Amino acid sequence: MNFFEPNRLAAAACAILTACSATNTPINAPLGAPKNAITTEVSSIDLADDSLFIGLAFSGGGHRASAFSYGLLKALQSVDRSPSNPDGLLSHVRLVTGVSGGSVTAAWFGYQGPAGMNGFRERYLVQNAEKYMANSALNPLTIARGLSGGANSRKTFGRFLDESLFENATFGDLARQSNIITWINAADVAHKTSFLFSPETFDALCSDLSKLPISEAVAASAAFPLVFSPIVLEAHSEDCDYQEPDWLTAARFNPESTSTLRAHGNVLERYADPEKVKFVKLLDGGTTDNFGTVALAVERAKAQNAYGPLTAEQAVRLERILFLVANSGTESEFGWSQKVAGPGGVALAMSIVNSSMSSATRAAYDAMLLTLNSWHEDVVEFRCNLGQAEVRRLRGSLSGWDCRNLKLFVSEVNFHGLDQEMVDKLNEIPTRLKLPTEQVDLAIEAGMQATRQDPEFNGFLRSIGISGPAASTGDGPAPRLIRPN
């Protein structure tokens, strides 16, 4: 056999690469009920005496993103903290969504709530999450596996997540334990759409979400192309009779629906058709949606009312909504931008992937901002169209009622505005799953400082009567909430 003959050489190369490929066998179970149960929802009891609603979105960026978003959580925890309220503003967090590195912090906080803050740094952030991974660029086998579809399977990062954090906890465990709406987002690379680990998605796959390990979703969300092979889900569509919900049908064919929502509806239809989809291949969610925009759009469409995902009772009780997006993206200087030649090889491949993710990040934030502003307007209109009797029924009292007293604060918390020396050091932190302790602590401190310095966050604090410098650094005295006598 002459391996230098082009066709035979190509065939031999493909065979070698396929043999080297790290693959993930589907582990998602068939659905044994008509449809999946709701994972987590904010109940009226949770918000009975709460006029605040805080939502958080954590973007990707490896350990840097996990640590930066953890710093944001620490900043919220330090506000209005007292012996009777050790969780500070974290007690008002009702929704968290995450992608890639940010999905680790999001999933852990969604699962454990404020109690998970203790030990997260020690259990995960300062650990080597690459301990089981093949990641040497000098190893030919690693390169071959990467080129064949991914150098690492779920038995590397996913295994570490279960050992260090989740201990094989499932989405069913999350639903039973948590009152925080938690969205984990990946990317369906075949259909070029976002993939949301939600009951609606798994209904279309005829699969039981409650039995799926949380680590599986996080591993999919963080599966950076080439470094990881896709997480694979099986469509069990031949095992059940899927009926598309009315709200999804309406959204798919509504000309006023966003193209993102229509694409989401179309791909769910394909998941339910065994002639079109047998397996779903998932990679890093940052390639399509770095903030969970699709999840928010789906929740709004699913509600089919002005106030969802809130209940009507919550919609009339709320006075302030804060939505913070933690973006730990870095700015890099490339030597090949100063010369004619390059980039090439791995640098070119990484540049293409990173360009896609950066573009998705900008578009996702803009889309999220538009969705939140539209939601806010809808809720205010709903409130102002209510009669007094209905307000009294939903709210319990007309005392202090002002239908327009609902303020929305949205901001992207990032490196801008931090001390330039700190920013330079942050830009040197690679997108890895292991970092030196000093870089982990730098990213945590940056998340705290960036949050406390954020103008929208400070506007939110002033609107609820916070006194003291919200932009204080470190773990010193926390800003306190001034409550009326």
pLDDT in tens, the chain (485 residues): 333 344 444 444 444 444 455 688 999 999 988 899 877 665 555 555 578 999 999 988 899 999 999 999 999 999 988 888 899 999 999 999 999 999 999 999 999 999 999 999 999 999 999 998 865 443 434 433 443 445 588 889 999 999 999 999 999 999 999 989 999 999 998 998 899 999 999 999 999 999 999 999 999 999 888 788 889 999 999 888 888 888 888 877 888 777 778 888 899 999 999 999 999 999 998 878 777 777 887 788 778 889 988 888 889 999 999 999 999 988 765 566 677 776 766 666 666 666 666 666 677 778 788 889 999 999 999 999 999 999 999 988 999 999 999 999 999 999 998 999 999 999 999 999 999 999 999 999 999 999 999 999 999 999 999 865 554 444 444 444 433 33
Other C-beta atoms lying within 10 Å of the C-beta of residue 349: 15
Spatial CA neighbour of 89 closest among 448, 417, 473, 485: 448
What's the pLDDT score for residue 295? 80
- Alpha-carbon distance of 250 to 39, in angstroms, equals 23
> Which amino acid makes up residue 251?
A
Residue 296 in contact with residue 371, Cβ under 8 Å? yes
The structure tokens listed for 470 are 């919200």
- 32-44 as b/e, with b when 16 or more CB fall inside 10 Å? eeebbeebbebee
Q: How far is CA 476 from the centre of its chain?
A: 30
Residue 53 β-bridge partners: 321
Would you state the pLDDT for residue 476? 44
Q: Which pLDDT does position 473 carry in this prediction?
A: 41
pLDDT of residue 42: 56
Cα–Cα dist 431/67, whole Å = 12
Buried b (16+ CB within 10 A) or exposed e, 98-124: bbbbbbbbbbbbbbbbbebbeebbeeb
C-alpha 9/C-alpha 299 separation (Å) is 50
Distance separating alpha carbons of residues 322 and 462, to the nearest angstrom:
12
Residue 305 CB-half CA count within 13 A: 12
